[in-house]
Chain A
Amino acid sequence: NAGVTQTPKFQVLKTGQSMTLQCAQDMNHNSMYWYRQDPGMGLRLIYYSASEGTTDKGEVPNGYNVSRLNKREFSLRLESAAPSQTSVYFCASSVSQPQHFGDGTRLSIL
């Protein structure tokens, strides 16, 4: 029972590089979410997808794009990485119940 799987687990980028973070869930959940977690800031919602074919901005969407590829997969793209995007990124999924989280992608931008 994999739940929510995120790849990669770690990544180091240089400023200006692009990167796509992948997320897949096998629980047949309709909704998927991307968060970032920074020390002292808690979890902040970047984007979410309430259902396949829809995406909406969260609290901190600037500098990110998302794609809901199908019901299982929701990717997060950084087009031109900036040091301020150094963070731990979590993907989550749900269906009218509390969210299930993946184990995160630790991203460092130099």
Chain B
Amino acid sequence: QKEVEQDPGPLSVPEGAIVSLNCTYSNSAFQYFMWYRQYSRKGPELLMYTYSSGNKEDGRFTAQVDKSSKYISLFIRDSQPSDSATYLCAMKGPGGSYIPTFGRGTSLIVHP
């Protein structure tokens, strides 16, 4: 079992839908949680960065962390075709060099 599990999809939704992307993890030491967005033929770009449990909102995006369940989510409201990309979750424990553990990514397709 990988430390971080993420459904590869693809997840196909109509424009305007609320999207929920999720990752589960097994390492209870993880404290820092990130979501990256990766467009085709581009590098991952940081979308959301949270520490410990709780919610963080940035525009149409909300990141949620439930450490008791070892489960993190990214919600996208009013999804747009421009949100079509692969979304990677990543997480890291305390201390040391900044080397996160990545999920394999979920492919999202938002169709007009």
Contacts and interface: CB of A to CB of B under 8 A. Distances in A.
A83 B32 CA distance: 36
Given A4-B43, A98-B34, A42 B99 contact: no
Contacts of B46: 98-100
A74 interface: no
B88 A101 contact: no
A107 B102 CA distance: 22
Interface string A77-110: 0000000000000101011111111111010000
Contacts of A97: 49, 98
B28 interface: no
Given A33-B99, A42-B103, A95-B98, 5 more contacts: A31-B98, A42-B104, A98-B34, A99-B46, A104-B43
Nearest to B97: A50
A97 B88 CA distance: 17
A48 B43 contact: no
A42 B88 contact: yes
B104 A40 contact: yes
A103 B104 contact: no
Nearest to A102: B43
Contact of B88 (A4, A33, A43, A50): A43
